[in-house]
Amino acid sequence: MKKILFVASEGVPFIKTGGLADVVGSLPKCFDKEKYDCRVILPKYMCIRQEWKDKMQDLTHFYMDLSWRSQYVGVLEMEYQGVHFYFIDNEYYFAGPKPYGNIYQDVEKFAFFSRAALSALPVIGFRPDIIHCHDWQTGLVPVYLHDSFGQGDFYRGIKCIMTIHNLKFQGVWDMKTIQDITGLDKSYFTPDKLEAYGDANYLKGGIVYADWITTVSRTYAEEIKTPFYGERLDGLMRARSGCLSGIVNGIDYDEYDPETDQFIEQKYNARNFRKEKIKNKRALQRELGLEQDDRKFMIGIVSRLTDQKGFDLIAYMMDELCQLDLQIVVLGTGEERYENMFRQFAWKYQGKVSANIYYSEAMSHKIYASCDAFLMPSLFEPCGLSQLMSLRYGTIPIVRETGGLKDTVEPYNEYESTGTGFSFANYNAHEMLGTVKYAMDVFYSHKREWNKMVDRAMAKDFSWKTSAKQYEELYDHLLAE
Ligand code: ADP
Ligand code: GLC
């Protein structure tokens, strides 16, 4: 039995701010249980829902040195869907209404978490063969493992994987503070280790000291070796390209299944969507106060409202988009200027635009199930899960050809009748508009072609089956060395 430990800052169903949580919560249960014992360790944030906290059991607690401080570490555990979850408790660090806040607090919080996760292992009696780290919040795990922990018998030989879900976030703060927080020796803060452009960089540390690096699509794994996508670490990515691979994300096919989804008005499947899916559109139009019209082309957006997702293109084109014969339904939170932009257009085009500026699992499912198309014109996209959810619900993605969007959405070819969505290459608002118009034309004027595209979209398999195998192969490869 190979033992794997996921260390991450979020995971469904406990705590989620984005796709990272979906991956951390859904991948571990997809490994072959005969061969891999994959467990997960997360922070026990105060903002985790009480219903989950009630189910956690106290395992142990101890005090740990973090630089010159001595800190309380509580460890709780819980089994969920056959997977063992551990939670690190410390009410000083994990208080607050959200997992992340000010970066200067977060760098200390996640130094604590990374060190606590490692320190807890002998106490709970789980010695992983591989520690699989996710994003900058856990970037110090490979560093600490290389440092003091690696000296001890218990930890010697443990391999580390660093998965990059988003290279933009690196956990950067000034070197003096980070040295003080982490207790790491001065020698770690050089350009070949944690230092980058004069500051200390957690993710860089993780990338330097991990035995292998993955990212969440093949295209993104290539893109981050270039200056445009490399977020100033492209040189490092090129240097480490021999140990870098891209494994595309899957989604939880039980959670996202139009045939069993409890959140939606009318369940449907690949055989009866032509008749049944429309009932969801009707219900959503009613619920959101949109014009009641079965045949209206409805576009959905479910997203963090940030530049990454292409909202400056949408903002630029919004007035023109609203001149078209369509409806737009948005669900998201994020940058205030985008929140207000959508609120304004919902006011200006009542019955046509619906702005839902909040977070809701239920509403997201309704949108995936009700809309005809899903718009995601990202500037960059390591993988993207929303387009996979859309495909699963027969909602046709309109995307920019970048990262995981390029790898998962096959552009429509009207001559060969192939493809599962619409895409454009350049980050350009008019290209996006042209692509939306093209999709609209197929929807209104070639309905049979559109429906055949829905057939193809729903027939695609983006469950974890294939990608979980690829992670297993990577684990085997690292342990065979
Ligand atoms: P990212 O992780 O970059 O935000 P992904 O596409 O990988 O993008 O994952 C986003 C996840 O967050 C999806 O599960 C999506 O449905 C969900 N999501 C984003 N915004 C909201 C929201 N306002 N309400 C509910 N779910 C949301
Ligand atoms: C990040 C990326 C997104 C990816 C998700 C899960 O949040 O922005 O593209 O799907 O992580 O890997």
Q: What is the pLDDT of residues 126-151, one digit of tens each?
A: 999 999 999 999 999 999 999 988 77
Q: What is the pLDDT of residue 256?
A: 98
Contacts of residue 285, Cβ cutoff 8 Å, sequence gap at least 6: 291, 292, 293, 298, 327
Q: What is the pLDDT of residue 188?
A: 98
Measure the CA–CA gap between 473 and 479, rounded to whole angstroms.
10
Q: Which residue has the tokens 């996979």?
A: 388
Our CA dihedral for 53, 59, 61, 64, rounded to 10 degrees, sits at -100
Pairing of strands 326-334, 353-356: parallel
Measure the CA–CA gap between 53 and 51, rounded to whole angstroms.
6
CA of 375: how far to CAs of 158, 387, 395, 398, in Å? Answer: 42, 8, 10, 5
Residue nearest to atom 11 of ligand 2 (CA): 165
- pLDDT per residue as tens digits for the range 336-359: 999 999 999 999 999 999 999 999
Domains 2-250+465-480 and 273-461 share a fold: yes
Instruction: Name the helix (H) or strand (E) containing 66.
Output: strand 57-66
Measure the CA–CA gap between 369 and 265, rounded to whole angstroms.
9
Contacts of residue 440, Cβ cutoff 8 Å, sequence gap at least 6: 297, 324, 325, 326
The confidence band for 315, taking pLDDT boundaries of 50, 70 and 90, is very high
Rounded to the nearest angstrom, the distance between the alpha carbon of 360 and the centre of ligand 1 is 10
Q: What is the pLDDT of residue 371?
A: 98
Render the burial of 256-273: b for 16+ CB within 10 Å, e for the rest: bebeebeebbbbbeeeeb
- pLDDT per residue as tens digits for the range 48-82: 999 999 999 999 999 999 999 999 999 999 999 99
The arrangement of strands across the sheet holding 172-174 comes to: 172-174, 199-201, 195-196
Asked if residue 378 has pLDDT above 80, the reply is: yes
Rounded to the nearest angstrom, the distance between the alpha carbon of 305 and the centre of ligand 1 is 10
Measure the CA–CA gap between 397 and 116, rounded to whole angstroms.
41
Measure the CA–CA gap between 341 and 227, rounded to whole angstroms.
31
In percent, the amount of the chain with pLDDT more than 90 equals 98
| Tokens describing residue 336 | 């205030």
Instruction: Return phi, psi of residue 172, to 5°.
Output: -115, 130
Mean of the pLDDT values across residues 308-319?
98
Mean of the pLDDT values across residues 36-51?
98
Measure the CA–CA gap between 385 and 252, rounded to whole angstroms.
10
Are the CB atoms for 381 and 224 separated by under 8 Å? Answer: no
How many residues are present in the chain? 481
The confidence band for 481, taking pLDDT boundaries of 50, 70 and 90, is confident
**Nearest ligand by distance to the CA of 380:** 2
Measure the CA–CA gap between 238 and 243, rounded to whole angstroms.
10
Least Cα distance to 408 among 389, 431, 432 occurs for 389
Q: In Å, how far from its chain's centre is CA 332? A: 15
Are the CB atoms for 73 and 64 separated by under 8 Å? Answer: yes
Rounded to the nearest angstrom, the distance between the alpha carbon of 24 and the centre of ligand 1 is 14
Domain at 273-461, CATH homologous superfamily = Glycogen Phosphorylase B; (3.40.50.2000)
Pocket test for ligand 2, best of 136, 216, 248, 399 (most atoms within 8 A of CB): 216
Are the CB atoms for 217 and 249 separated by under 8 Å? Answer: yes
Pocket around ligand 1: residues whose beta carbon is below 6 Å from it? Answer: 18-20, 22, 302-304, 331-333, 359-361, 364, 383-386
Render the burial of 367-387: b for 16+ CB within 10 Å, e for the rest: bbbbbbbbbbbbbbbbbbbbb
Mean of the pLDDT values across residues 233-246?
98
Residue 45 sits at the vertex; the CA angle it makes with 44 and 49, to the nearest 5 degrees, is: 100
Pocket test for ligand 2, best of 22, 163, 166 (most atoms within 8 A of CB): 166
Q: Which residue has the tokens 């009410």?
A: 91
Q: What is the pLDDT of residue 16?
A: 97
| Tokens describing residue 82 | 């056959």
Rounded to the nearest angstrom, the distance between the alpha carbon of 381 and the centre of ligand 2 is 7
Pocket around ligand 2: residues whose beta carbon is below 6 Å from it? Answer: 18-20, 23, 165-166, 216, 249, 381-385, 404
Domain at 2-250+465-480, CATH homologous superfamily = Glycogen Phosphorylase B; (3.40.50.2000)
Render the burial of 409-425: b for 16+ CB within 10 Å, e for the rest: bbbbeeeeeebbbbbbe
- Ligand 1 atom nearest the C-alpha of 333 is 23
State pTM to two decimals. Answer: 0.97
Rounded to the nearest angstrom, the distance between the alpha carbon of 11 and the centre of ligand 2 is 13
Rounded to the nearest angstrom, the distance between the alpha carbon of 15 and the centre of ligand 1 is 13
Q: Over the chain, what is the mean pLDDT?
A: 97
| Tokens describing residue 285 | 């139009």
Domain residue ranges in the chain: 2-250+465-480, 273-461
Phi-psi region of 292 (alpha: psi -120 to 50; beta: other; left: phi over 0): beta
Q: What is the pLDDT of residue 150?
A: 74
- pLDDT per residue as tens digits for the range 435-446: 999 999 999 999
